Structure 1
Amino acid sequence: MLPESMKYALIMLAAGAGVPVLAALNAQLGALVGSPAAAGAVMFLIAAVVAVFVAVVLGQSAAFALVSAQPRYLFLAGVLIAFYLLSISWVAPRFGVGNAVMFVLLGQIVAISVIDHFALFGAKLRPLDLSRAVGIVLMTLGVILAQRPGS
């Protein structure tokens, strides 16, 4: 039996692998229908149906009644995922899926470093130390090198 942390790591590895697939599929759908926004709306509709189904199957449908009482800033997550989906669907066909996702990864590393350093949004405090800073610099250099002609 796998340790709990290994299960979490594998789930997130699969989720991470899904990001470029999502980007490529939705970008192609957006190009075929002539609208990244329409493709995004369809993807969100399907995602909403799947999320509601999972909540019902797990016996968590009562949680929907609690949503309206939560702080409004938490709903910014929906705006951010819409921005991600619409931007990746529009940029990926023009810039390349790999290029687009590399910059997404760089943005994620920088953002999570700030979130952890200041314990924003209820995150566990994890100050930015030399090791993490070096990792961010190496990731940045990797993105720059991968963007060079002939890469």
Structure 2
Amino acid sequence: MNSSIAYALLMLVAGIGIPVMATLNGGLGARLQSPALAATILFFVALVLAISYLITTEGFPEKIFPANVPVYFYFGGFFVLFYILTITWVAPRFGISNAIAFVLLGQLIAMSLIDHFGLMGVQKFTMSLKRLTGLGVMTIGVFLVLNKVPGGAR
């Protein structure tokens, strides 16, 4: 199988997992009546699984924080925590579709800026009219699938 197709399929499955995860996280937070406790439990489960995967596939690393890795790369952990806490708290109140639609909109904005400016050392993809049009169409699509728009209108 072509590696591009394999990557696309893998990311498709990961994308399917995001609303499933949001539903599970929101349900756990609601049942526990604590998004923070739910996030803590979820991170504990994730940590155990990640350590198990690491040790099974690569063994225990010599260094956990190598000197050649810029410190800002570790800030990804902040965004993981922020996403888990917010989706766990917001999804039961706003709906999975609405919450994920705005997550998707945020991803579209961020990916465009990161690619256009080549931020954090990624390959640069300059914004073109074709790409801008595609982003506009995707943004319109996000709003068309919303169950409830901000302000309460349907």
Return the TM-score normalized by structure 2.
Answer: 0.89
> How far apart, CA to CA, are the structure 2 residues paired with 1:9 and 1:54?
22
Structure ranking higher in helix proportion: 1
Q: Secondary structure at the match of 1:62?
A: coil
- Larger mean CA deviation between 85-94 and 138-147 belongs to 138-147
> How far apart, CA to CA, are the structure 2 residues paired with 1:90 and 1:67?
31
Q: For 1:9-88, what aligned pairs fall within 5 Å after superposition?
A: 9-62=8-61, 65-69=63-67, 70-88=69-87
Q: CA deviation at 1:136?
A: 1.7
> How far apart, CA to CA, are the structure 1 residues paired with 2:103 and 2:120?
20
- The question of whether the paired residues in 1 share the 8 Å contact of 2:101 and 2:146 is answered with no
Q: CA deviation at 1:66?
A: 4.3
Gaps of 5+ in 2: none
> How far apart, CA to CA, are the structure 2 residues paired with 1:115 and 1:139?
17
Identity level (%): 43
- Larger mean CA deviation between 65-74 and 116-125 belongs to 65-74
Q: Please provide the CA RMSD for this pair.
A: 1.8
Q: CA deviation at 1:144?
A: 2.6
Aligned to 1:114: 113
> How far apart, CA to CA, are the structure 2 residues paired with 1:28 and 1:55?
29
> How far apart, CA to CA, are the structure 2 residues paired with 1:143 and 1:78?
27
> How far apart, CA to CA, are the structure 2 residues paired with 1:7 and 1:67?
30
Aligned to 1:143: 142
| Matched positions, count | 149
Q: Secondary structure at the match of 1:125?
A: coil
Gaps of 5+ in 1: none
Change (3 A) 1:148 1:89: closer
> How far apart, CA to CA, are the structure 2 residues paired with 1:53 and 1:83?
24
> How far apart, CA to CA, are the structure 2 residues paired with 1:131 and 1:20?
29
In the alignment, is residue 103 of structure 1 matched against residue 124 of structure 2? Answer: no
- Return the letter of the residue paired with 1:86: L
